[in-house]
Amino acid sequence: MSEEKKLTPRGEDFAAWYNEVVLRAELADYSPVRGSMVIRPWGYGIWENMQRALDDMFKATGHENAYFPLLIPLSFIEREKEHVAGFAPELAVVTRAGGKELEEPLVIRPTSETIIYSMYAKWVQSYRDLPVLMNQWANVMRWEMRTRLFLRTAEFLWQEGHTAHASAEEAERETLLILGIYRKFMEEWMGMPPITGLKSDSEKFAGAVRSYACEALMQDNKALQAGTSHFLGQNFSRQFDLKFQSEAGQEEYAWNTSWGVSTRLVGGLVMSHGDDAGVVVPPKLAPIQVVIVPILRGDDSATAVKEKAAEVANRLRELGVRTRLDDRENLSPGSKYYEWERKGVPFRVEIGPKDLAQGQLALARRVTPEGARRKQFVPEGEAIAGMPDRLEDFQRELLESAVRRREEHSYRGVTSVGEVKEILDATGGFVFTGWSGDPAVEQTMKDVCKATSRVIPGEEFRSETPPENCISGDAPSRMEVVWARAY
């Protein structure tokens, strides 16, 4: 690899490395509109695979897809006071259209609770109409001042689920069901194991009663909020008159939830698995799982090599392996290796005259376990038949590596603000401490440690011995909390 093609090493400047990887792997590019991005085919292919997996999981639990308008009356946003206060700085407002001033300004959706629950109020009359379980795949706009490709852009793609229920208990179950779906997807498809739990009141979604989140640890040991699920109570139902007649004949307000993940997940994937050569894409999400590169020597063997490469590609596709035959004649094999390594294709297959003569394929894995050889020469039949298992092994090992990294950088039993700061200054990571629940402590952590409370961890993530004292040192602990510096 020539010097000009080398990426900034992660250990030298993680932020620069990330930006270079996203651009050079052709995941996305900057658009002419400030803060917005163009998602290129390779990045969009990863997002499409994320969509398919999540969409199947939503539909398997009874949710249906719908679509709601991009433009929302400003008066709708203003009805829910916490909601408008939370989003006011990020709103993009349309005041003129069709050559004249609008009678009422329209907001480009930052999220769709208001427009969706106004429609639910038209459709729901009885408990028999509940629950309403809808999701939409859409774009949203939040006028962010500091942007970074995928992680924080003015416009981004996401899914947003919105549900209505007859009871608080049913809505709470829905909120936790979705949290579990997100965790399963992040672990099993992305190989990015999050900690799940409850957000503090100061960190919850504007207008929610309770917010739950998936917090993942990136390779630079900063946290990424990767997905959220919110119990909205009756806040929006009351504002939009979303009522139903209960089984007992009484008129009641519905109970709502909302939940979403976005193209931020693509950024999370890059920061979870990428290395100094580029992106590493988990096989389940890779648009191409195997790329085949024929090695042509310019002699009589070229035709036979091309035919064998096409045959191998077809046999892999028959096994359900997403395969690309890279037979471009204007690029050298080395240039192709560099391109597909940079993009993170899990496996590369090389076929040359020598391989043809010996009935073998050269397999190069994008990342290898410590001590393993990067390239292996495997009998053709074995190489093809064993590819699905190799992809499964690759997927599993990415998750195992990410879990180890998370646990190695999770610090428990920490009892002072000074110790938290020392850990975050030195290595970063997740720091578990006791907390009294006092918001003033959160402010102290922001001021002193540049850290925020990420989640009040769910039962499976809590320390075996609960903390006795608040990290402030002047009150007993009411709960455990995870602190980190975050994106």
Question: Where do the domains of the chain lie?
Answer: 3-273, 290-390, 410-484
pLDDT of residue 284: 98
Is residue 160 within 8 Å of 166, Cβ to Cβ? Answer: no
The 8-class DSSP code of residue 92 comes to E
pLDDT-flagged residues of the chain (< 70): 1-4, 80-81, 83-84, 371
**412, burial (CB in 10 Å: exposed 0-12, middle 13-18, buried 19+):** middle
φ, ψ for residue 422 (rounded to 5)? -60, -45
Superfamily grouping for domain 410-484: C-terminal domain of ProRS (3.30.110.30)
pLDDT of residue 137: 98
Angle between helices 417-426 and 439-449 (to 10 degrees): 40
Task: Please name the fold of domain 290-390.
Answer: Rossmann fold (3.40.50)
Work out whether strand 243-245 and strand 251-253 pair parallel, antiparallel, or are unpaired. Answer: antiparallel
Which SS3 state, helix, strand or coil, does residue 297 take? coil
Is residue 188 within 8 Å of 223, Cβ to Cβ? Answer: no
Is residue 283 within 8 Å of 345, Cβ to Cβ? Answer: no
CA distance 153 to 157: 10
Q: Note the helical H segments in 297-372.
A: 302-318, 333-343, 353-358
What would you measure as the largest C-alpha separation in the chain, in angstroms?
A: 85
Task: Please name the fold of domain 3-273.
Answer: BirA Bifunctional Protein; domain 2 (3.30.930)
Residue 415 burial (CB count, 10 A): 16
φ, ψ for residue 197 (rounded to 5)? 175, -170
Residue 103 neighbours by CB under 8 Å, 6+ apart: none
Is residue 312 within 8 Å of 349, Cβ to Cβ? Answer: yes
Q: Which two tokens stand for residue 98?
A: 């069709």
Strand runs (DSSP E) across 166-209, as ranges?
Answer: 195-198
Say if 290-390 and 410-484 have the same CATH topology.
Answer: no
Which strand ranges, in their side-by-side order, compose the sheet holding 195-198? Answer: 64-65, 132-141, 155-165, 255-262, 223-233, 210-217, 195-198, 452-457, 479-484, 430-435, 410-411
Which SS3 state, helix, strand or coil, does residue 376 take? strand
Place of tokens 């900063």: 222
pLDDT of residue 205: 92
pLDDT of residue 81: 66
pLDDT of residue 3: 42
